[in-house]
């Protein structure tokens, strides 16, 4: 169903972009065909890459090259489509205002082919510049986001570091994982938290990346909840791999870790509906806890924040949204997620939604910087 819906969107966006760029142009037909093919390939590249990844025997270097080119092109055509749309709204508004004032607006008429050609060229060049900037933002080491919370429930000050949405796959540079691990360890966390979508590929295809990730260390351990992409890529394999790496997967269960802090974790809310064994169970998650503990819930998806007020959690840590990742996709993500990014107070519970430390699809970020979150719990 997802792929059918995406294909419909891809066809619609491709058609609009092609019509705008070459439909009113007198350029040579061969150039029109070439531009159209680039636009169509950009929009359908996720479907091609997904199909290619499932093929056995594909050379890893060839796959990585196609994946990187395809997803970068997807980011470009998305930004191009958005900028063309914004430009045309503003352009028609200006033209309409000029006509309403009785001015001769042919020189700024959106149907003036010569003016449209220059306007299209400017948008294309600007889109390329934005893509270069977005690639830089997506590839750099995540920013450090600080969250502080005072409470009289803990015995002493405690530091947690949260990673979310790394989306490790076979195209993820090992050097990037090393940089992130070094950044995490330099923060000297007491506890490390992983809130899902750390893995996004077959476990067997990312052994080098996971070997690098394993160098994360905290004296009181690494605790993880599961995201939807671990589910898509073999839930049992990823849970086994995390446990093998020494990460404690919290799957409808919780544990007192240190300083009267209780950490519980639940399955991803979206994938929970696909199998009864994946259902979220807050009662099981809280088994063994008591009212005097500071309780933190790990949930990949933040949408359950409204459902936990009766379970006496003090904090919820989540990810999933990527903060929108590439503007203006923020507006669509916000439509689907009440809590998009940052800190919220939900019925007295402190909720932090991480932008994530990686990317999905295009290795780009635009006005949604990746982050490593430091949560300092301070004894009141």
Dump pLDDT digits (tens) for 118-175: 999 999 999 999 999 999 999 999 999 999 999 999 999 999 999 999 999 999 999 9
CA dihedral (71, 73, 75, 81) in degrees, to 10, reads -140
Question: Shortest CA distance to 226 belongs to which of 282, 301, 294, 295?
Answer: 301
Residue 69 confidence class, pLDDT cut points 50, 70, 90? very high
CA distances from 125 to 17, 77, 119, 265 (A): 15, 12, 10, 46
Q: Cα(325)–Cα(134) distance, rounded to whole angstroms?
A: 9
Question: Shortest CA distance to 249 belongs to which of 265, 236, 233, 272?
Answer: 265
Q: Strand 315-318 vs strand 349-353: parallel, antiparallel, or unpaired?
A: parallel
pLDDT at 272: 66
CB atoms within 10 A of CB 8: 10
Residue 254 confidence class, pLDDT cut points 50, 70, 90? very high
pLDDT at 282: 93
Q: What is the gyration radius of the CA atoms in the chain, in angstroms?
A: 24
User: Roughly what angle, to the nearest 10 degrees, separates helices 29-53 and 2-22?
Assistant: 160
Q: ∠ CA 356-361-364 to the nearest 5 degrees?
A: 65
pLDDT, tens digit, 9 for 90 and up, residues 169-221? 999 999 999 999 999 999 999 999 999 999 999 999 999 999 999 999 999 99
pLDDT at 144: 98
Q: ∠ CA 318-322-327 to the nearest 5 degrees?
A: 150
Q: Cα(38)–Cα(103) distance, rounded to whole angstroms?
A: 39
CA distances from 148 to 151, 178, 334, 350 (A): 10, 26, 25, 10
Q: Is the pLDDT of residue 277 over 80?
A: no
The one-character DSSP state at 24 is T
Contact 276, 248 (CB under 8 A): no
Q: Cα(304)–Cα(344) distance, rounded to whole angstroms?
A: 13
With a pLDDT cut of 70, the percent of the chain lying above it is 99
Helix (H, G, I), strand (E, B) or coil at 27: coil
CA distances from 75 to 97, 105, 167, 286, 318 (A): 33, 34, 17, 42, 25
Q: Is the pLDDT of residue 104 over 80?
A: no
Q: Cα(56)–Cα(276) distance, rounded to whole angstroms?
A: 31
């Amino acid at each position: 169903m997802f792929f059918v819906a995406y294909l419909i969107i891809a066809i619609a966006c491709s058609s609009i972009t092609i019509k705008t760029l070459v439909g009113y142009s007198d350029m040579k037909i061969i150039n029109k065909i070439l531009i159209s093919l680039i636009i169509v390939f950009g929009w359908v590249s996720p479907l091609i890459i997904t199909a290619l990844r499932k093929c056995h025997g594909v050379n890893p270097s060839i796959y990585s090259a196609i994946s990187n080119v395809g997803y970068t092109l997807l980011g470009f055509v998305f930004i191009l489509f958005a900028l063309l749309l914004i430009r045309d709204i503003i352009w028609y508004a200006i033209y309409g205002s000029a006509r309403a004032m009785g001015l001769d607006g042919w020189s700024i008429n959106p149907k003036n082919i010569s003016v449209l050609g220059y306007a299209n060229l400017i948008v294309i060049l600007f889109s390329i510049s934005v893509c270069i900037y977005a690639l830089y933002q997506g590839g750099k080491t995540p920013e450090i986001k600080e969250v502080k919370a005072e409470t009289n429930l803990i015995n002493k000050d405690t530091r947690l570091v949260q990673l979310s949405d790394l989306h490790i796959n076979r195209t993820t540079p090992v050097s990037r994982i090393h940089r992130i691990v070094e950044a995490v360890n330099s923060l000297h966390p007491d506890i490390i938290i992983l809130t899902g979508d750390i893995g996004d590929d077959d476990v067997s295809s990312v052994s080098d990346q996971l070997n690098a990730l394993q160098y994360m260390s905290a004296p009181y351990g690494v605790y993880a909840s599961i995201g939807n992409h671990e589910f898509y890529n073999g839930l049992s394999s990823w849970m086994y791999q995390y446990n093998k790496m020494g990460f404690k997967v919290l799957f409808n269960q919780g544990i007192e870790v240190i300083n009267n802090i209780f950490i519980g974790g639940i399955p991803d809310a979206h994938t929970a509906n696909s199998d009864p064994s994946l259902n979220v169970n807050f009662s099981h998650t809280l088994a063994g806890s008591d009212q005097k503990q500071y309780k933190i819930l790990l949930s990949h998806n933040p949408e359950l924040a409204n459902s936990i007020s009766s379970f006496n959690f003090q904090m919820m840590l989540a990810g999933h949204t990527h903060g929108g990742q590439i503007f203006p996709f923020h507006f669509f993500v916000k439509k689907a997620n009440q809590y998009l990014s940052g800190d919220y107070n939900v019925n007295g519970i402190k909720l932090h939604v991480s932008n994530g430390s990686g990317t999905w699809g295009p290795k780009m970020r635009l006005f949604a910087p990746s982050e490593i979150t430091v949560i300092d719990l301070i004894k009141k």
